A and B are shown apart, each in its own frame.
Chain A
């Protein structure tokens, strides 16, 4: 009986290990799909999430002033809830895209000889700081509302914009013509 339980446990353990191994992401780092994903993240950040007009609109205090001074109390709560939801969504999306870029740079630094190590270290620090700042902002917005830390929002947007520019320059040499070649990881190392 004991040996049956032992062998069953070993079987379950082996099966679980096989299942976990099969679920692992087998996409090679530095592959063309990773590059396309990184470019997409960069585009989403630069064109969709970080433009100053959008950030100002999401965190516009003038809207709150208007609601507070010219609408009845029942609207105040609705307004703050709605804007809080949008602010949290913005922060979540910024974090997701930054994480995607961070993942690419972490993998790419090992594959592309032409990436500048100093720039990559600076980027790694910027990404880490941004992820931390976004998390802190998420907590602040969740607890104290969308207007809890306006300066920090501006700071996050500025640092993220700078990091995107550096990332863009860093990835500049990987032009579209090379995407095909990058599909083969062995070719990527030559770049």
Chain B
């Protein structure tokens, strides 16, 4: 396969991924997390059986990496208001209690492993910092738990 043919195949696979799987995931935060979960942490390679069966494993891997970078750059471009709103939507979609979600994300910082490889460190740092602020905002909005008055 020549590099030009390969590039065309990758573009087609990425377009296929956007029109099928990613079309149902409108928020870039959800896309970022979904695409990061397609990556094997040991090898850094992406796997998607459906896409690999239509193209090849290598082409599918590159297409997934392209879409991952795209979702990351869309999220970095979001304003803080938009990021907070996306996180609220994401919490709703996970059916987790917002309090548990905020506590887990503050503790585990799962967004740190969701960035594509070869991301510019400053850009990654900017997104991590925005996540930290967004989590603080969401935490501040949680209804406070008042201690039960003793009988």
Secondary structure class of chain B's binding surface, majority of residues: helix
Say if the beta carbon of B81 comes within 8 Å of chain A. yes
A86 and B129 form a contact (CB under 8 A): yes
Query: B56-76 interface mask toward A, CB cutoff 8 Å, 1 = contact, 0 = none?
Result: 000000000000000000001
Q: Which A residues are in CB contact (< 8 Å) with B76?
A: 54, 57
Provide the bound-state CA to CA distance between A47 and B133, in Å. Answer: 26
Q: How far is the CA of A58 from the CA of B79 in the complex (A)?
A: 10
Partner of A71, one of B125, B129, B137: B137
Complex Cα spacing A67 to B79, Å: 11
A53 to B129, CA, bound (A): 17
Decide: A67 and B122 in contact? CB cutoff 8 A. Answer: no
Given A75-B133, A82-B133, A93-B122, A62 and B79 touching (CB < 8 A)? yes
Q: Are B133 and A86 in contact (CB under 8 A)?
A: no
B122 lies within 8 A of A90 (CB): yes
By the criterion CB–CB under 8 Å, are B80 and A48 in contact?
no
**Taking the complex as formed, is B136 at the interface, i.e. its CB lies under 8 A from any CB of chain A?**
yes
Tell me the complex Cα distance, A79–B134, Å.
9
Q: How many residues of A contact B (CB 8 A)?
A: 27
* CB-CB under 8 A for A60 and B79, given A75-B136, A75-B140, A86-B129: yes
Q: Tell me the bound Cα distance from A53 to B77 in angstroms.
A: 7
Residues from chain B with Cβ under 8 Å of A58 in the complex:
126
Would you call B123 and A48 a contact (CB within 8 A)? yes
Q: Collect the chain B residues with CB atoms within 8 Å of residue A128's CB.
A: none
Give the number of residues in B that approach A within 8 Å (Cβ atoms). Answer: 16
For the residues of A in contact with B, the DSSP-based class is helix
- Tell me if B132 is interfacial: C-beta within 8 Å of chain A: yes
Q: Give Cα distance in the complex from A58 to B80, angstroms.
A: 11
Docked complex Cα distance between A90 and B121 (Å): 10
Query: Would you call B40 an interface residue if the criterion is a C-beta within 8 Å of the partner chain's C-beta atoms?
Result: no
Decide: A75 and B137 in contact? CB cutoff 8 A.
Answer: yes
- State whether the Cβ of A35 lies closer than 8 Å to any Cβ in chain B: no
B37 to chain A, nearest CB (A): 25
Which residues on B sit within 8 Å (CB–CB) of A44? 120
Contact flag A66-B79 (CB < 8 Å), given A48-B120, A48-B122, A90-B122: yes
B:114-128 near A, CB below 8 Å: 120, 122-123, 125-126
Contacts of A53 in B (CB 8 A): 77
Within 8 A of B (CB), among A40-96: 44, 47-49, 53-54, 57-58, 60, 62-63, 66-67, 70-72, 74-75, 78-79, 82-83, 85-86, 89-90, 93
Q: How far is the CB of B48 from chain A (nearest CB, A)?
A: 27
Binding site for B on A (CB under 8 A): 44, 47-49, 53-54, 57-58, 60, 62-63, 66-67, 70-72, 74-75, 78-79, 82-83, 85-86, 89-90, 93
